[in-house]
Chain A
Amino acid sequence: MTDATLRRTILKGVLALPCLPAPAADDSRFIVEARYWEKLPHRKIKCTLCPRECVIDDRERGYCGVRENRGGVYYTLVHSRVCAANIDPIEKKPFFHVLPGTLSFSIATAGCNVNCKMCQNWDISQVRPEQVRSLYMPPREVAALARQNRCATVSYTYTEPVIFYEYMVDTAEAARAAGVRNVVVTGGYISTDPLKELAKRVDAIKVDLKAFSEKFYREVVNGELKPVLQTLVTLRKLGTWSEIVYLVIPTLNDSDREFRDLARWVKAELGPDVPLHFTRFHPQYLLKNLPATPLKTLERAKAIADAEGLQYVYLGNVPGHAAENTYCPKCRRVLIEREGFFIRGLHLSQGRCPGCRQPIPGIWGKS
C-alpha cells in the first residue's frame, strides 16, 4: 500500500489505522524536546504541562505515557505521530457555535493525562504511542490536507490534545498560516501557562466537564475538578470561544443538585451565553455495568439549566431531538436546525437572529 493510499484510507475515517505498519518505537521523527518541564536533581524532571505535575525518573514516562525522561531531558514521543485522522462535521466535536456545517480535519495521537472509566476512545487514549499504529504527519502536511479537503478547521481531538501539546501548537501555527482555523477538544486538565500560550494559537476550545464534584473526578476520572474549572475561567478571561460538554452518567453525576450547582457556576463565572451540552452516556470501557442515560434524565438536566438562566443548553447523542437546535434567547426563533451531526437549516444573519436582531455569540464566519 502506498503512502497516498494509506492516507486516503485514513481520511475515509478509519479511527485506529489498523492497516498501517507500526513505526519503530524509537522513530526519531516523533521525538522532540518537550515544553513545560523543570530539571530536578539526579536526572529527575518535573513535568509542568498539566496539574498532575509528574516527577519522572530517567527512562520513565509521565502518567500520560507519551512524555519521557531521557537522561534528564524531557521529550514528547508523539510529535507528528498521528494515530487517528478523520474529516468530521464540526458538530461532532460538538461545537454548535463555531462555523456550523463546516468540516474539521481531526487528528489525535496516543495518550491521555487522565483515565476516565467511561472513555469511548480508550484503545488509543490509554495506550502508549508504540502500542498503536500511527502515521507520520508533520504540521505543514496537516495544514495542507485540511485545505485540500476543504476543512475550515483542524481539530485536536479524540484522545487528550494536552498531551500532544507541542505538536498541537506547531500544527496550529502551520494551519493558521495556511488560512485554516484551529479548535481543541479537551478535558481541560492543563496548567495555566501552557493554556495561555495555546489560547493565542487556537480559535475555540471545547471542554469536557465530566462532573461537578471532586469525588467523581477522583474516582471516575483519576483527575481533579478544580483545575478544569480554572481552565474555563481562564479561557473566558482570555476571550477564547468555549463550549462545555457534560456527559450525563446514570447514578454518578446526574442529580438535580449537581445539575443546578453546575448551571449556577457557569452563569456566575462564565456567563449565561456559554453553550452547555448535556450528552448521553453509552456503557463502555470500565463502566459497562451502567445503562445508557435515559432521555428523561437529559431533559431534566436541560430544564434545570434553562431555569437557572443559561441561554444555550443542548442535548447530545439524541439525534432528532429539538434540543439539538439553536434558538434565539430573546424571541425563541429557531436559528440553526440540526439532526445529529448535520445542519438542516441555518437561519442566522451575520451572527444575529434574523427576526429580532439579537446577537448570537460564536464564530460564524461569513454566514
Chain B
Amino acid sequence: MAQAGVTRREVLGGCFAFAAGQACGQSRDFVSQTSAGTAPAGPSRVVIARDAALRSGGSVDSARLAALLDRAMQAFFEVDKPVEAWRRVVKPGEVVGLKVNCLAGKGASTHPALAEIICERLQQAGIRARDILIWDRLSDDLESAGFRIQTGRDRVRVMGNELLGYEDELSTWGSAGSLLAKALTRVCDAVINLPVLKDHGIVGVTLALKNLFGAVHNPNKYHPNAGDPYVADVYMLPPIRQKVRLAICDAVNGQYEGGPSYMPQWSWPFNGLLVARDPVALDRTGWEIIEEERARRGMKPLREAGREPRWIARAARYGIGTDDPRRIRRIEV
C-alpha cells in the first residue's frame, strides 16, 4: 500500500510516513521463528518464486517485482497478506538492516528496486524509515549497483561499512578471526540477507552464507581452499547467527560462470526470488539451480571445476541449517 503520488525513490528518502506500530500487532512467537540458534527440527522451506514477465523492455518491472516478493513472502509464511509475513520477521522499534550484495555493480548485484520494495513492506509492518539501514562492504559498491548513499538519521540510511566502521575487538570462531562491521553489531537488531544467485570463481557460488563476508573487515583472508571452512566459520560468528532472520535471494538474474564479477555472457534471466530462513537450505538450492544451468549449457559441474562449495555441507554440520535435499522442501510459486 503506497500513498498516492509517492515514488519508491521517496520511500528511500524517508517520505513514506507509516506510523510506527500502526495497525501492527506483535508478531507471534517471533524469536522462535528466527534463524538464530540451531537448525530447524522439520524440513527447511525454500520458496522459489518466478515471473516470466518480470522484465519490461530490458529492465525490471518494479510493480511485478513487488508482486513477486509479496507472493514469495506469503507462500513462505503461509499468510494471506504480505504485511502479516513481515510481522513474523520484524517488530516495531527494531532497527533492521538489509545486507545487499553490490560487489559486481549493475547486472549482478542486489537490485535497488528490490531493496526499496522491502523498505516499503518493513514500514508497513511498523518499522520506521529511520530504523532501516541498507548496507554493504563499501559505499562505492553500493553506488555502482545503483544505490544512493544516505546518511541522514531521518530516513532510510544507505551506507558502506567504511562509514560506520568496525569493532576494535576481534570476534573469533574456528578459522575465522575478524573485526565485525558496526552496522551489524551496533546498529541493527535484525538483518534481512539479500544475496544474489551467482557463480564464484574461487569458492564455487556466492549466495546467502557468503554474503556475510560483507560484515567482516578481512574477507580477502577467507577464500583459500574454495572457502572451506571459512564461509561457514564466518557465519558462525555469534552476532551474525543471532541477527540474520531471513534470506531473500535476488535471482532476477542468475550467473552460472565467471563470478563474482558481472559477466553478461554467462548470465541468464531466472526472473525469480528465493526466500528461506535457513541459509544453508537456500544455498544448497541456489547451488543446484546454478549446476542445472551449467549442465544445460554443457559446462562441467563445479566439483570438476575444482570449486565445489564444500562449505555448504560444513555449515550444515555446524547446525546452521540443512543441506540434505530430502530435508529441504522446495515451494515453487
Residue pair A63, B221 in contact (C-beta under 8 Å): yes
Interface-central residue, A25, A26, A62, A64, by most chain B CB under 10 Å: A25
Alpha-carbon distance A42/B179, docked complex (angstroms): 32
Known: A42-B261, A285-B177, A286-B172. A59 touches B104 (CB 8 A): yes
Given A43-B261, A44-B201, A65-B218, answer yes or no on A26-B140 (Cβ-Cβ < 8 Å): yes
Whether A61 touches B263, Cβ cut-off 8 Å, given contacts A25-B162, A44-B201, A130-B162, is: no
Q: Which residues of B contact A130 (CB under 8 A)?
A: 162
Complex Cα spacing A117 to B260, Å? 28
Whole-angstrom CA separation of A127 from B179 in the bound complex: 9
Cβ < 8 Å to B, chain A residues 26-60: 26, 42-44, 55, 57-60
Q: Is A222 an interface residue (CB 8 A)?
A: yes
Interface range on chain A (Cβ under 8 Å from partner): 20 to 34
- Cα A126 to Cα B177 in complex, Å, equals 10
Interface assignment of B310: CB less than 8 Å from any CB of chain A: no
Q: Which secondary structure dominates chain A's binding surface?
A: loop
B220 close to chain A: CB less than 8 A:
yes
A131: interface (CB < 8 Å): yes
Contact in complex: B220, A42 (CB < 8 Å) = no
The distance in angstroms between the C-alpha atoms of A51 and B105, with both chains bound, is: 30
Contact among B162, B177, B260 for A286, CB-based, below 8 A: B177
Distance to closest chain B CB from A25 (angstroms)? 6
Interface residues in B160-214 by Cβ distance below 8 A to A read: 162, 166, 170, 172, 177, 179, 201-202
Q: What residues of B have a CB within 8 angstroms of the CB of A64 in the complex?
A: 220
Minimum C-beta distance from B171 to chain A (A): 11
In the complex, which residues of chain A have a beta carbon less than 8 angstroms from the beta carbon of B221? 63, 65, 115, 126, 222
Majority secondary structure, B binding face: loop
CA A150 – CA B285 in complex, angstroms?
Answer: 64
A122 to chain B, nearest CB (A): 8
In the complex, whether A128 has a CB less than 8 A from a CB of chain B is yes
Cross-chain contact B220 with A62 (CB below 8 angstroms): yes
Looking at the assembled complex, report how far the CB atom of A311 sits from the nearest CB atom of chain B, in whole angstroms.
38
With A25-B162, A63-B223, A130-B162 in contact, do A57 and B261 touch (Cβ < 8 Å)? yes
Interface status of B130 (Cβ within 8 A of chain A): no
Q: Which residue of B lies closest to A61 (CB)?
A: B220
Distance to closest chain B CB from A112 (angstroms): 9
Measured CB to CB, the nearest residue on chain A to B161 is A131
Instruction: Check: B158 CB closer than 8 A to any chain A CB.
Output: no
Q: Does B217 contact A (CB under 8 A)?
A: yes
A222–B224 CB distance below 8 A: yes
Minimal Cβ-Cβ distance residue in A for B177: A286
User: In the complex, which range does the number of interface residues on chain B fall in?
Assistant: 20 to 34
Least Cβ–Cβ distance between B183 and chain A, in angstroms: 14
For A131, list chain B residues within 8 Å (CB): 162, 166, 217
State how many angstroms separate the Cβ of A41 from the closest Cβ of chain B.
9
Chain A positions 55-85 with a Cβ under 8 Å from a chain B Cβ: 55, 57-65
Asked whether any CB of chain A lies closer than 8 Å to the CB of B258, the reply is yes
Once bound together, how far apart are the Cα atoms of A93 and B221, in whole Å? 26
Distance (Å) between the CB of A30 and the closest chain B CB? 15
A59 touching B162 by the CB < 8 A rule?
A: no
Which residues in window 2-46 of A have CB below 8 A to B? Answer: 25-26, 42-44
- The answer to whether A63 touches B224, judged by C-beta atoms less than 8 angstroms apart, is yes
Structural contact, A127 and B217, CB atoms closer than 8 A? yes
What are the residues of chain A within 8 A of B223 when measuring CB–CB?
Answer: 63
- Bound together, the chains give a CA A58 to CA B103 distance in angstroms of 10
Contacting A at CB under 8 A, from B56-103, are 103
Determine which residue in B218, B220, B224, B261 has the highest number of CB atoms from chain A within 10 A of its CB, and name it. Answer: B220
Least Cβ–Cβ distance between A164 and chain B, in angstroms = 15
Cα distance, A59 to B201, chains bound together (Å): 14
Instruction: Choose one: B177, B179, B201, B218; the contact of A55 (CB below 8 Å).
Output: B201
Q: Is B261 within 8 A of A59, CB to CB?
A: yes
Chain A residues whose C-beta falls within 8 Å of the C-beta of B179 in the assembled complex: 127
Q: Provide the residues of chain A in CB contact with B259, threshold 8 Å.
A: 57
| Complex: A222 Cα to B225 Cα, angstroms | 11
A58–B162 contact, CB under 8 A?
no
In angstroms, Cα B224 to Cα A62, docked, is: 11
Return chain A residues, CB-CB under 8 Å to B170: 285-286
Chain A nearest Cβ from B293, distance in angstroms: 18
**Bound: A26/B140 CA distance, A:** 10
Q: Write out, one digit per residue, whether chain B residues 133-161 have a CB within 8 A of any chain A CB (1) or not (0).
A: 00000101100000000000000000000
Contacts A/B (CB < 8 Å), 6 sampled: A62-B220, A63-B220, A63-B221, A64-B220, A131-B162, A131-B217
- Known contacts A57-B260, A59-B105, A285-B170; 5 additional CB pairs below 8 A are A44-B261, A61-B220, A62-B220, A65-B221, A128-B220
The 7 closest A-B pairs by CB, nearest first: A57-B261, A65-B220, A58-B261, A286-B177, A115-B221, A61-B220, A63-B220
